[in-house]
């Protein structure tokens, strides 16, 4: 292992999280951490060296995470990928069984780091699911997707569902659900698109796609003028299909089973396939499938 002479602690350090860590990472420490990673030392080994040198464990862990993330981001940008931006993220420190969202406690069923995927239980009550379906059903039409070639909307053969959009805050129920989501994901309510409800009949599916807007498409600059890129997706299951209809992540061979009231969240810090957030709605084999999707933007979606 490299010399520890760059590893002295700074007396201004506190146990504050990543932003504080970023302030106290000296260029020497940053260089040392990157050298350790390049030499093949795993994070726990580097962390132990920092603790041995007198660093507080939380501060050292934050400094390590921030430095390696910044470094990976720099490498990605050098390779021509868009820069990473902040994304919505639930507070899952210490692996809580439940996340308190004010009016409601949501359970955490599964968390995957890369791609970032979190499956939640009991995000919506059965009554809320039924009410959303009842409000949406009379207004369903064949689903459109945003057409990145033109910036408009188009019927998409890969998406054989019916759907509709609510306005943000359109009804008291929607307002309540949006407030819950904002607390759950630590993301401003204003950065959310209106809730979309989709209905899949047997055989209907949504073929694998990315939810961000492809920067190479000519319509994307005009789409992202309103609110910036999409950086996260929350798919909420409003019923439990008899067979099929899972949400699939083909790059990582994950399939989330649709169960009424549960939801799958995933985020993407850059509009690039390296996020591994390719995902689809598998064909419904028996029964029907209802979902509500909340897409989250970088900035206020006016």
Residues at the contact surface with Zn ion, assessed by CB under 5 A: 211
Whether 93 and 108 have beta carbons less than 8 Å apart is answered as: no
Using the minimum distance from each CB to ligand PD2, give the nearer residue, 62 or 211: 211
Using the minimum distance from each CB to ligand PD2, give the nearer residue, 22 or 226: 226
| Size of site (CB under 6 A) for ligand PD2 | 10
Using the minimum distance from each CB to ligand PD2, give the nearer residue, 32 or 206: 206
User: From the CB of residue 140, how many other CB atoms can be counted at a distance below 10 Å?
Assistant: 14
User: Quick one: what does residue 13 bind among ligand PD2, Zn ion, none, with the CB cut-off 5 to 8 Å set by partner type?
Assistant: none
Using the minimum distance from each CB to ligand PD2, give the nearer residue, 49 or 191: 191
Question: Which listed residue (55, 206, 213, 268) binds ligand PD2 by CB under 6 A?
Answer: 206
Sole window of 20-28, 98-106, 112-120, 278-286 interacting with ligand PD2 (rule: CB under 6 A): 278-286
With a CB cutoff of 8 Å and minimum separation 6, the contacts of 67 are: 25, 29, 30, 33, 34
Sole window of 15-23, 87-95, 178-186, 275-283 interacting with ligand PD2 (rule: CB under 6 A): 275-283
Using the minimum distance from each CB to Zn ion, give the nearer residue, 104 or 297: 297
| Contacts of ligand PD2 in 219-248 (CB under 6 A) | 233, 235, 247
Label residue 109 exposed, middle or buried (CB < 10 Å: 0-12, 13-18, 19+): middle
Q: How far is the CB of 68 from ligand PD2 (least distance, A)?
A: 30
Q: How far is the CB of 172 from ligand PD2 (least distance, A)?
A: 24
Measure the CA–CA gap between 136 and 145, rounded to whole angstroms. 18
- Does 279 sit near ligand PD2 (CB under 6 A)? yes
Question: Which listed residue (50, 106, 204, 291) binds ligand PD2 by CB under 6 A?
Answer: 291
Label residue 273 exposed, middle or buried (CB < 10 Å: 0-12, 13-18, 19+): middle
Q: How far is the CB of 101 from ligand PD2 (least distance, A)?
A: 21
- Does 21 sit near ligand PD2 (CB under 6 A)? no
Residue 265's Cβ-side half-sphere holds a number of Cα atoms within 13 Å equal to 27
Q: How far is the CB of 295 from ligand PD2 (least distance, A)?
A: 7
Query: Residue with the closest Cβ to ligand PD2?
Result: 281
User: Quick one: what does residue 281 bind among ligand PD2, Zn ion, none, with the CB cut-off 5 to 8 Å set by partner type?
Assistant: ligand PD2
- Does 270 sit near ligand PD2 (CB under 6 A)? no
Question: Which listed residue (293, 294, 296, 301) binds ligand PD2 by CB under 6 A?
Answer: 293
Using the minimum distance from each CB to Zn ion, give the nearer residue, 128 or 211: 211
User: Quick one: what does residue 293 bind among ligand PD2, Zn ion, none, with the CB cut-off 5 to 8 Å set by partner type?
Assistant: ligand PD2
Question: Which residues of the shown chain bind ligand PD2 in the complex (CB under 6 A)?
Answer: 206, 211, 233, 235, 247, 279-281, 291, 293
């Amino acid at each position: 292992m490299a010399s520890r002479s760059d590893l002295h602690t700074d007396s201004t350090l506190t146990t504050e999280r990543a932003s504080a860590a970023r302030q106290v990472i000296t260029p020497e420490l940053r260089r040392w951490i990157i050298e350790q990673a390049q030499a093949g030392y795993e994070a726990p080994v580097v962390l132990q060296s920092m603790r041995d040198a007198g660093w507080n464990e939380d501060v050292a862990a934050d400094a390590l995470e921030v430095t390696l993330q910044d470094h990976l981001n720099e490498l990605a940008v050098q390779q021509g990928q868009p820069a990473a931006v902040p994304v919505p993220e639930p507070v899952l420190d210490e692996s809580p069984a439940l996340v308190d969202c004010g009016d409601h406690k949501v359970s955490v069923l599964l968390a995957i780091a890369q791609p970032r995927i979190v499956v939640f239980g009991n995000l919506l009550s059965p009554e809320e699911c039924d009410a959303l379906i009842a409000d949406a059903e009379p207004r369903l039409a064949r689903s459109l997707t945003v057409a990145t070639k033109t910036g408009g909307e188009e019927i998409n053969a890969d998406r054989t569902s019916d759907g509709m959009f609510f306005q943000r805050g359109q009804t008291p129920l929607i307002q309540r659900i949006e407030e819950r989501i904002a607390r759950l994901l630590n993301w401003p309510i204003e950065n959310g698109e209106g809730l979309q409800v989709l209905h899949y009949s047997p055989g209907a599916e949504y073929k694998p796609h990315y939810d961000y807007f492809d920067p190479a498409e000519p319509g994307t600059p005009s789409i992202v003028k309103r609110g910036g890129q999409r950086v996260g997706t929350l798919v909420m299951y409003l019923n439990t299909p008899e067979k099929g209809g899972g949400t699939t992540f083909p790059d990582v061979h994950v399939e989330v089973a649709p169960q009424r009231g549960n939801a799958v969240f995933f985020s993407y810090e850059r509009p690039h396939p390296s996020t591994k957030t390719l995902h689809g709605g598998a064909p419904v084999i028996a029964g029907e499938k209802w979902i509500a999707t909340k897409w989250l933007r970088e900035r206020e979606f006016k």
